Structure 1
Amino acid sequence: MQRLWAKVDQQAPSTEWPRRLAHGVALGGAALFLTTISRHLIGVDLPFAFALVAVALAAAWGGALTAVAVVVTAIPAAVMLNPDHPFVTPVNIVVVIVFSLILALFGGHTTALRKRADVEASRSRRREDYLQSIFGTTPAAMLIADAADNILAINTSARDIFGIGDEDVERLTLATLLPGWSNADVDPCCVQRADGKRLTLSVSSVALPPATDDLRTIYIRDETDRIAAAEALALLQAELHQLARATALGQLGSAIAHEVNQPLAAAANYAKIAQVAASRGPMTAEVGDALDSALQQIFRAADVLKGLRRFVQRGPLQAEWVDARQIITEGAKLGAFAVRQAGAELTVTIDDDIGEVFIDATQIQQVLLNLIANAADAVADSATRTITLRAFPGPEERCTITVSDTGPGLAAEIESALFTPFQTTKRNGLGVGLAISRTIVEAHDGRITGASNPRGGASFSFTLPRRSCREELAGAA
């Protein structure tokens, strides 16, 4: 620090001594001139009076060097101009010279003290200006407060953080600027600016030296952007983690579809053989119906696995125009088992003008099965166990399908992340059913939503492209 102050206090080398010496000679000459004028024009003969006055003025104005120059110039000249004056004696000359030198030294010392004080004052001003410059321009936000928490000074960086102007500083206190903060706090504090912007700040306090122990410096660091970036990074990492899990699930689904498809094909062959064998001999209608149903379910399982493989492999959608009523009815039948297990009642309502929908039937039936199964789980512990499936024409050539239940509804924290993979409230759930359903619906150029009902329970709706019955008849004609 001493080296810094030495640099700040450094001044140009003094070159005043020639000027001060010249001033002394000039004052001595002026004293000699006045002595001559007073003697010849006024008749007042004072050989040393003006010389002594000049010495005093020189000592007070220019210091000892200037005063000595006056003594050397004026006293000998006064002696030479007045050799016959009764006051000009060797003793008086010595006394005058000694007195003049004492006056010069005393006045010079006084002048030196005054100049030294001026130098110290100038040095203090330079140091103060330097510290003010550092305080005002440093990127670190700083403010100085007293023991009563009044803010005495605040730098530009702190003003920018809090959005305040010069006129607001006098009214500021720590309580208004940092409400709720104290010296003991180590965690970042949250404040709200006058314009409504919320800030997260890291604040620390340092007491100034003992001579000013009632003052302290408050250092402030704006952590808002850093914390927001950290949260965004954490969210991105979580999404990447979910993406990795979804990728692993897709690979697993593809492997399962490949492995299970072969035994299903074998089971279908055996069921056909049994059906053919039974047709050659006596067979009850119940056995025949059971074999037919077994074959239908085996073929359906194979279709589901094919759809799963297409889904995880992101293959082309196998969409075609199909009867919406038939697809929805079959989807309701697929979910009937889950409804019965929950002890619930499923009501299906389909408008007459529902027409056709352009879909991959297997995938849309999978969506219906997921929604009905979720509704059955939701009403399993409810006093009223009712599930409603409704399909009706919507705007813009869309078909809207809604599955509602009388369960407890959706929790607020779940409702905002309904279709996020691996988000579930089921004890043994994976949290992928709704995420897969959304992917399927969006692949059909549709949209799926879910929300709690005002009177309890929850509803899930999705839309599909449709063609009305009138359009079908017009096309056939």
Structure 2
Amino acid sequence: MRKTLQLRSKLVLGNLLSVALSGLCGWTVWFSLGEQQLWLAIVVAAGVCFLLSMWLTQTLHDSLKALEVGLLNFKDNEFSVSLHGYGEPQLDSIAELYNQASAKLRSERQFIYQRELMLDKVIQNSPNIMLLVDDNQRIIYANDAARHLFNQGVRIEGMLLGDLIAELPNALKEALNSKHEGLFSIDATNQSSATTGAEELESWHISRGSFSQNNQQHHLILLKQLTKELNRQEVAVWKKVIRIISHELNNSVAPIASMVNSGRLLTKDVGNDKLGLIFDTIENRTAHLSQFISHYAQFAKLPLPRKAPVDWAQLVQQLAQQYPFKLISELPQVPLELDSVQLEQVLINLLKNAHESGSEKELVTLAMQDVTHPVSGIVIIIEDSGSGMSSEVLSQALLPFYSTKQSGTGIGLPLCREIVEAHGGHITMQNRTKGGLSVKLWLPKE
């Protein structure tokens, strides 16, 4: 209340002084100059009063003008202007409140901006496809995954959705054109699958949403490919089954092996050759079963990769000592950090399969290529001139327990796939046009 009275007192005092000055001037002129100069004195007194009032209210005028400019800046979302003090407690209090509001709005806008940047970063790096379109089906916003699906990584904002999906598979095109949500499948040749050259069923999910902004209706479309996720879940189920079976079998094999040793000790003086043959057979079969279990346990308990820079020359030399091949490319120049032990295990398994495919040894080849698109990394290609694989075998070759070999465990290729995917890569298999099989491993730099 004290501050209000100070400013109000100054304004009242200025008015009183003006009135007093006018009266004094009029009285002086009346008595000294007479009635003829009274009107001139009144005009002079009024002018002096006006100038005095202007001088007394100048600070108030300046502060209100500055506040007006600041509020106009607020209206334009500009919060960088601050007000200074004027020596008047009430005006200084208003200026301080304005500065506090400006600082808070600046802080909140910066916080919102940082959250928008973080959200955009998350959306752009998401593997899910995100599209925002208007009522005319014109693209307003798209993330990186959408640009790669529709336009090979080129910006698509401003383009029509109908033009972008013209070359897509029919099932995907129909899902985008319809208003429905949920799961749908695509039968298409998938160049990144183990069944390259044959049709593969891809599972997708589409969801939609709508909202209004700036009096315009916007439509959000989200596409998610579920094939890889379902494959991971399938592998996880296989691992769980293998762990359970391995546990139960080990609980049975260990007592059998122990009983065989006890039986040998108890019957060592009997001298019956048939008993020895029985014990040998039981011992051999339990040892084979234990080895069989250990192979599956290795797949079910694969450790995480321990990455370190790869010495490609040393790796190739070690591989050639076990299974001969012809190196038909230069060694990679891109530095990569991988688990060399696990990678060597994968390549040995693939070279072993190539040698067992019926191919001539000198026609088994190994090539390595540096790649930069879509992600920097390396592609390792192993090819043979054997009998290849049928479409049915190709579609199941990477599944655990599946094998076309009479003595195979069906765990070699699934283990290769598990190791490669643990490094963030993928494995593909394709029959060659000239006969034989081509296996490609793609491993990212990071």
Report the TM-score when normalising by structure 2. Answer: 0.33
Greater C-alpha radius of gyration:
1
Q: More relative contact order in 1 or in 2 (CA 8 Å, sep 6+)?
A: 2
Query: Higher helix share goes to which structure?
Result: 1
